[in-house]
């Protein structure tokens, strides 16, 4: 295996281990009051497009909906994060490492 491939594999293994530690830990680390399950059905009449799809997933399975929420928020966060980063760079500012002046 080449050096680069080995380093990538080690990086992925480290990330997977870190993610496992973080996710098992965050079961207790999330703030806010404990939420009890709601019995709720979304009215899909008159809905279309994305709203209808989301409502159908919500009505079908809360687990699928929960996973959808996480995926959408993470993907949107990353896309917007890198996108806004690029936009800020266009202002011509020096956005490199900061000195931690107090």
Partner 1 sequence: MDFFNIYLPIAGMQFNVLLLLLIGFTVGVCGGFFGVGGAWIVTPALNIFGFPMPYAIGTDLAHMGGKSIVSTIRHGKFGNVDVKLGFSMIAGTTLGMELGARLVMKLEHLGVADTVIRKMYVVFLAFIGSYVLYDYISHVRETSRAAKAGAPAAKRDTFAQRLHRRFRVWPMVHFKASGVTCSLWLPIAVGFTTGVVASVLGVGGGFIRMPALIYLIGCPTLVAVGTDLFEVMITGAYGAFTYGIKGRVDLIAAVWMLMGAAVGAQMGTVAVKYVRGYSIRLLFATTIFIACASVLMKQLELQVASSIFILSAGILISGVILSLLVRGVMRERSERRAAPELGV
Could you say which of 6, 16, 60, 76 contacts partner 1 (CB under 8 A)? 76
Measure the CA–CA gap between 85 and 87, rounded to whole angstroms.
Answer: 5
Q: Which is nearer to partner 1, 2 or 100 (CB)?
A: 100
46 with 63: CB under 8 angstroms? no
Binding to partner 1 (CB under 8 A) within 12-41 occurs at 18, 21-23, 25-38, 40
Closest of 32, 56, 60, 37 to residue 45, by C-alpha: 56
Question: Minimum CB separation from partner 1 for residue 22, in Å?
Answer: 5
Residue 10 structure tokens: 């080690």
43 binds partner 1 (CB under 8 A): yes
28 with 20: CB under 8 angstroms? no
Q: Which is nearer to partner 1, 3 or 43 (CB)?
A: 43
- Which ranges of 61-97 does DSSP label H, i.e. alpha helix? 62-89
- Residues in contact with partner 1 by CB under 8 A are 18, 21-23, 25-38, 40, 42-44, 47, 50-52, 54-55, 58, 62-63, 65-70, 72-74, 76-78, 80-85, 87-88, 91-98, 100-102
């Amino acid at each position: 295996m080449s050096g680069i491939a080995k380093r990538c594999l080690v990086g992925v293994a480290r990330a997977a281990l870190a993610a496992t530690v973080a996710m098992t830990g965050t079961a207790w680390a999330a703030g806010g009051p404990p939420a009890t399950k709601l019995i709720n059905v979304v009215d899909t009449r008159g809905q279309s497009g994305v709203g209808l799809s989301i409502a159908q997933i919500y009505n079908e399975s809360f687990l699928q909906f929960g996973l959808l929420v996480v995926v959408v928020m993470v993907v949107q966060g990353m896309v917007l994060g890198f996108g806004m980063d690029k936009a800020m760079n266009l202002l011509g500012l020096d956005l490199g490492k900061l000195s931690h002046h107090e």
